[in-house]
């Protein structure tokens, strides 16, 4: 699945996910400090190989809106323990980023990009 984060206005960016079958879903993302919540989700799920949380559900067909709109396939991959664990990790990382004096692109995104290669 292709995951596209687009910086928008000062209030909202956009998240667009294009699945392997060509279907797509998208939503506005609130701009939240140096990294939007859903971007941190992507990094955590990809790096930790989490297969039952947000992006796995989207990959399986859930539509992104304020809350996920599921289909049978996306419900089948949803794993409640992974969902809650992932959310806890994401919110912890997000609070660390918010507490930094001056978060920078080099301090956050460059190490993340290196980890994902």
In a domain, 45, yes or no: yes
In a domain, 61, yes or no: yes
State the pLDDT confidence band at 20, using cuts at 50, 70 and 90.
very high
In a domain, 17, yes or no: yes
DSSP 64: P
Distance CA 90, CA 70 (A): 21
**pLDDT score recorded for residue 11:** 85
Mean pLDDT score across all residues of the chain: 82
* Digit-coded pLDDT (tens) for 69-86: 666 777 777 778 888 888
At residue 3, the 3 state secondary structure works out as strand
Instruction: Kindly list the distances between the CA atom of residue 58 and the CA atoms of 21, 27, 38, 92, in Å, as whole numbers in the listed order.
Output: 12, 12, 12, 23
**pLDDT score recorded for residue 52:** 87
Q: Which residue has better confidence, 35 or 103?
A: 35
Q: Give how many domains the chain has, as a whole number.
A: 1
In a domain, 30, yes or no: yes
Please provide the DSSP assignment of 70-85 as one string: --HHHHHH--HHHHHH
Distance CA 78, CA 68 (A): 11
CA neighbor of 1 nearest in space, from 49, 76, 61:
61
pTM of the entire structure?
Answer: 0.73
pLDDT at position 103 over 60: no
Domain range enclosing 17: 2-82
In a domain, 75, yes or no: yes
* Digit-coded pLDDT (tens) for 40-71: 889 999 988 998 889 999 999 988 875 666 66
């Amino acid at each position: 699945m292709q995951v596209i984060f687009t910086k928008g206005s000062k209030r909202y960016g956009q998240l667009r996910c294009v699945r392997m079958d060509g279907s797509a879903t998208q939503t506005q993302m609130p701009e939240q400090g140096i990294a939007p919540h859903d971007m941190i989700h992507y990094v955590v799920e990809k790096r930790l190989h989490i297969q039952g949380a947000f992006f796995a559900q989207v990959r399986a067909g859930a539509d992104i809106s304020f809350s996920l709109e599921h289909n049978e396939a996306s419900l089948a991959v949803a794993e409640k323990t992974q969902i809650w664990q992932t959310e806890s990790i994401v919110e912890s990382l997000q609070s660390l980023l918010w507490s930094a004096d001056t978060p920078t692109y080099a301090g956050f995104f460059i190490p993340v990009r290196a980890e994902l290669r």
